[in-house]
Structure 1
Amino acid sequence: MIDMSTLDIVAVLFFLAAWIGYATLIGRLAGTGRSLSSAMDVQRKRWMQVMARRDLRMIDTAIMSGLQNGTAFFASTSLLAIGSAFALLNATDRIFGVLNDLSMQSSVPRGLFELKAIGLILIFGYAFFQFGWSYRLFNYASILVGATPSAVHAGEEEAVAAADRAAQFIIIAGRHFNHGLRAFFFAIGYLGWFINGWVFMLATATIFSVQAYRQFLSPAARAVIKAAREVKS
């Protein structure tokens, strides 16, 4: 039985509440144009509408290729992070020696340390599945872009429906990419638990605050939120 202190339990619950609460907030704002992510969804839909009226679509295929490459990069990085977390788990004795030199080992039971390492593996595993699914959806979206009728049919019902389908796939792929990236960000806060519960909560609160600022108050957010409002109006 792993002996977790009250502080550790509170810190874990705080971490989960921050992550789930933030994800829920962003999810509820999807499509409203009131956050950076939702405003970019509006731009993705706008992109596909413009694509349907474009004769030459090399620009669109180049953008899709860039999105796929970026997603593949983070998927492979997730695997590297999982491997590093397993290495951390396998090097428990060596790390405990370092903690002992720093007079910190007494505050970190061995079983709890191993639990923390397993938690880190699970976070990066979750990120990998999100990036992997996002990559696959971007592949499907590129096929849907290719299946969109040419510009001479842009005003027809079939072309409009095809562009909407491609937009929906790109939007969903982007959201899964954001889920994976969010896991990376919160994993940074999770690392604070390897020190103690107080640092864990402080790091989590910092990550939450930075993420919220970027979603609602950053210059990038203000720019695209304003553009989304203009599109909706």
Structure 2
Amino acid sequence: MDIFSRLSLFTALDMLAVALLIGLWYGLGWMIEHPPAGHPSVSRLMAQYRRDWMAQFVTRTPRIFDANIIDSLRQGTAFFVSASMIAIGGGVALIGNSERLEGLARDLTLPVPALVIEVKILLVILFLGNALLKFVWAHRLFGYCSILMAAVPNDPNDPQAFHRAGQAAEVNITAAKSFNRGMRSIYYALGALAWLLGPLALIGGAVITTGVLVRREFLSESRRVMMQREV
């Protein structure tokens, strides 16, 4: 079956739903990382707290607390790396089993060929693959950050102390940005699963996923607390 025949298995509404999902995923990511000046996202607020953390790190003695935080961040990232790999492996195995796909279609009462289900699962795998790459890079960057922190002199009066702490903060922020991108891909992979029920379900899944993320980044109680920086 050529590519045009395969595309004919999907309706215009299917194409619109996929375009909406990808557009919302990309657009929301851009808005979170470039929010309005008067209404920062949780991610942007946390970036400033990470800079404050590194400023406090210079004068903290001992620095075991900071080492524990970095170790916790790396462990959390490693967990999502493993989870993404397992999910991708499960999706690939499902695509390779046509009989199981046909059984899934019957269970969902979907009168569609296995190829359609394969493409829909492939969309989920693509989001999971993107998440995996982001988590792997975040894990590596948190490792770089720990090395930069170890290079910060113990003497606060050393001219290199705050400079190196600032470098560690920026690498930490970059790692968190990559981690957050991976998390968004996980969210949208879950939303993409709704396509198994049809294009209208995918549109609903994309909108609900976006709504959940918008609330958590711009309207959550945690954000309100973070905004209270003044004593």
TM value normalised by structure 1: 0.91
**Other-structure match for 2:121:** 117
How much does 1:93 deviate? 2.1
Report how many residues are paired: 225
1:64 aligns with 2:64: no
- CA change 1:94–1:220 in 2 (3 A) is same
How much does 1:109 deviate? 3.2
**Other-structure match for 2:80:** 74
Contact 1:32 1:38 survives alignment (8 Å): no
Segment of structure 1 superposing worse, 109-118 or 29-38? 29-38
How much does 1:111 deviate? 2.3
Which 4+ stretches in 1 moved above 3 angstroms?
Answer: 30-33
Structure 2 gaps, min length 5? none
Structure 1 gaps, min length 5? none
Segment of structure 1 superposing worse, 69-78 or 85-94? 85-94
Which among 7, 12, 16 is matched to residue 10 of structure 1?
A: 16
- CA change 1:101–1:216 in 2 (3 A) is closer
SS in 1 for 2:225: helix
Segment of structure 1 superposing worse, 46-55 or 28-37? 28-37
Segment of structure 1 superposing worse, 80-89 or 59-68? 80-89
**Other-structure match for 1:139:** 143
1:44 aligns with 2:50: yes
Q: Distance in 2 between matches of 1:102 and 1:222?
A: 42
- CA change 1:50–1:33 in 2 (3 A) is farther
Q: Distance in 2 between matches of 1:33 and 1:155?
A: 36
Matches within 5 A, 1:45-194: 45-100=51-106, 102-104=108-110, 106=111, 108-150=112-154, 152=155, 154-194=156-196
- CA change 1:156–1:30 in 2 (3 A) is farther
Q: Distance in 2 between matches of 1:127 and 1:8?
A: 23
1:27 aligns with 2:29: no
Q: Distance in 1 between matches of 2:56 and 2:114?
A: 57
**Other-structure match for 1:216:** 218
- RMSD over aligned Cα atoms: 1.8
Contact 2:42 2:223 survives alignment (8 Å): yes
